Structure 1
Amino acid sequence: MGMTAWPFGDPTVLLAALALDLVLGDPPNRWHPVAAMGKLIQLLWRIAPTRGRVQPFLAGLAVVVFGMVLCVGVGVGISFLRQSWPVVGIAAEVLLLKTTFSVRGLCSAGRQVRSRLKDGDLEAARRLLAWHLVSRDTHALNESQVAAATIESIAENASDSIVAPWLFFLLAGLPGAAAYRFANTADAMLGYRDAAREWLGKCPARFDDLLNLIPARVTACLLIAATPLAGGSIRQGFRIWRRDARLTVSPNAGHPMAAAAGSLGIELEKVGHYRLGKGLHLPAAADVGRAIRLVGIVVGFWAAGMGVWLVVRVVG
Structure 2
Amino acid sequence: MAFSLAFLALVIERLVGYPQWLVDRIGHPVIWIGALIDRLERRLNRLDLDFPIRKRNGVIAFVLLLLATLIVSVFIERSVLWLPFGLIVLAVISSSLIAQKSLEHHVRAVADGLETGGLDGGRKAVSMIVGRDPDQLDEAGVSRAAIESLAENFSDGITAPALWLGLLGLPGAALYKATNTADSMIGHRNSRYGAFGWAAARFDDLVNLPASRLTALLFIAAACLVPGASPRSAWAAVRRDAGKHKSPNAGWPEAAMAGALGLGLAGPRIYGGVLVEDHVMGEGGRREATAADIRRALSLSRVADLLLIVLFGLLADGLIALW
TM-score by length of 2: 0.89
Residue 54 of structure 1: aligned partner: 52
Residue 276 of structure 1: aligned partner: 281
Is the 8 Å Cα contact of residues 268 and 282 (structure 1) preserved in structure 2? no
Shift of 1:302: 1.9
SS at match of 2:32: helix
Cα separation, 2, equivalents of 1:315 and 1:263 = 36
Letter in 2 for 1:305: L
Deviations 1:60-111 (A, max 9, x none): 1122211122222222222322443243x43542233112110000001111
Deviations 1:136-161 (A, max 9, x none): 11112000010000000000001000
In the comparison of the two structures, how many residue pairs are matched?
306
Is the 8 Å Cα contact of residues 155 and 257 (structure 1) preserved in structure 2? yes
Which residue of 14, 18, 36 maps to 1:22?
Answer: 14
Deviations 1:226-266 (A, max 9, x none): 11222211111111111111232211111111111011111
Letter in 2 for 1:123: D
Residue 298 of structure 1: aligned partner: 304
Shift of 1:22: 2.8
Residue 213 of structure 1: aligned partner: 209
Residue 79 of structure 1: aligned partner: 77
Residue 138 of structure 1: aligned partner: 134
Letter in 2 for 1:16: L
**RMSD of the TM alignment (CA)?**
1.9
Cα separation, 2, equivalents of 1:281 and 1:142 = 14
Cα separation, 1, equivalents of 2:286 and 2:197 = 36
Cα separation, 2, equivalents of 1:215 and 1:244 = 17
Letter in 2 for 1:243: R
The 5 A counterparts of 1:9-48 are 9-11=2-4, 13-26=5-18, 27-28=22-23, 30-48=26-44
Residue 246 of structure 2: aligned partner: 249
Cα separation, 2, equivalents of 1:273 and 1:295 = 27
Shift of 1:41: 0.3
Name segments (4+ residues, structure 1) moved above 6 Å. none
Deviations 1:182-234 (A, max 9, x none): 00000000011221111001111001001111111111111111112222111
Is the 8 Å Cα contact of residues 244 and 254 (structure 1) preserved in structure 2? yes
Is the 8 Å Cα contact of residues 267 and 279 (structure 1) preserved in structure 2? yes
Letter in 2 for 1:73: I
Is the 8 Å Cα contact of residues 213 and 253 (structure 2) preserved in structure 1? yes
Shift of 1:312: 4.9
Is the 8 Å Cα contact of residues 17 and 101 (structure 2) preserved in structure 1? yes
| Structure 1, unaligned runs of 5 or more | none
The 5 A counterparts of 1:1-316 are 4=1, 9-11=2-4, 13-26=5-18, 27-28=22-23, 30-48=26-44, 49-50=46-47, 51-87=49-85, 89-119=86-116, 121-131=118-128, 133-230=129-226, 231-271=228-268, 272-274=276-278, 275-277=280-282, 278-312=284-318
**Sequence identity percentage:** 34
Cα separation, 2, equivalents of 1:161 and 1:112 = 18
SS at match of 1:229: coil
Is the 8 Å Cα contact of residues 238 and 252 (structure 2) preserved in structure 1? yes
SS at match of 1:250: coil
